[in-house]
Amino acid sequence: MTVEPQTRDPITPPGLNLGGGVAGDLDLLVYLYSRPGFLLSRVEQAIQTLFAASDCGAEVTPLQVQFITLAARLGATDQATLSRWAEIDTSTAALVIRNLLKAGYVERTVATADRRRKLITATEVGTALLDRARSALMAIDERLLTTGGTERDRFVDSLKKLIASAGSPEPELDRAPQLRLMLEAPAYLVRRALQVSEAAFARDASHFDLTVRQFGALMTIFAHPGISQVGMARVIGFGMTTSGVVLGILIKKGLAISQPDPADRRRNRHRLTPAGLARLKASTPAMVRAEAAMMALLTSTARLDLERALGRIVLSHNGLLTHPLPDLERVVLDPRWPVEVTALQTLMGGALGRG
């Protein structure tokens, strides 16, 4: 069956070049780079990059440090409790704990009262590692606040409200006050806020069979008909492998098509199919609702302050990341940035409405 591809011409401001003759859509980039979920994802990448460069970055990850901290501060604790305190799913927790056991940073013992129950405890080696890891994470926290141009209390409060929007209960710090330093650290809260952002979209858009990345890719192809895999990576900051996987999934679902570039047969151009355009139209309101709910506990001023702080952090670390965004500075300096989630109908809604 022949599928008639999308034919909309992209907006072509000077200076935004995605390769293969496809010009960047400044309106789309201003909108995309204003989204808290996108900014949180880039900040989380910066945190991982900075920690990997620390003197203990080759030994553990920030998430593993979190588990060692929980095991050290809570004492002998079962895996389900560690998973609940870390606020991640049990399968991910099991993988983290398995790697920590293998490295010798935690150990597993059998509970005396119930021999079916296995308890996790930090080892001496793991506890010794914590001092160096905590120092690295504290330095990263200070760097985030400095480059974000924001006060710790304000930044932390906004992230906590964003997390609370998902109905997540406040950590029971009265039962474990020794965990306050970890659970109120900016780097930790960024990861939790990113989880909330992704979960909010997954909840509101579940019946559209789209992930956050797939939605972003659909929107990017819509704004840049004929975009290549390299161009997709330049817009969203995906690695080439991830970009190829996401595009492949959209093609398999019948939402996009890939055609050889007549000017360079080694390069493929991507466009939305009618089904892809329809899916983008239908799912856009869900994305808007998800973000509005996520930011509901913040005042408009607090929301802008948080987005601007996140944007400054992302911009200051853009060059450190494996996949920097070439046009990020131009976008962040655009007088419209950051724009509210409802601005999508203004920036792109006319074209979406025309189909």
Q: Tell me which CATH code domain 1-48+147-168+184-344 carries.
A: 1.10.10.10
CA distance 187 to 190: 5
CA distance 175 to 1: 62
Count other Cβ atoms within 10 Å, centred on residue 175: 8
* pLDDT of amino acid 344: 67
**Residue 135 contacts residue 57 (beta carbons within 8 Å):** no
* pLDDT of amino acid 32: 86
Ranges of the chain whose pLDDT falls below 50: 1-3, 6-15, 20, 353-355
- Alpha-carbon 49 to chain mean position: 14
* pLDDT of amino acid 177: 60
CA distance 285 to 204: 9
* pLDDT of amino acid 240: 85
CA distance 227 to 21: 9
**Residue 186 contacts residue 144 (beta carbons within 8 Å):** yes
* pTM assigned to the model: 0.86
| Dmax (CA) of the chain | 72
* pLDDT of amino acid 15: 44
Where helices occur in 224-339 by DSSP H, the ranges are 229-236, 240-252, 274-294, 300-317, 328-332
Residue 264: strand pairing partners: 261
* pLDDT of amino acid 339: 86
* Planar angle of CA 108, 100, 102, nearest 5 degrees: 80
Count other Cβ atoms within 10 Å, centred on residue 253: 15
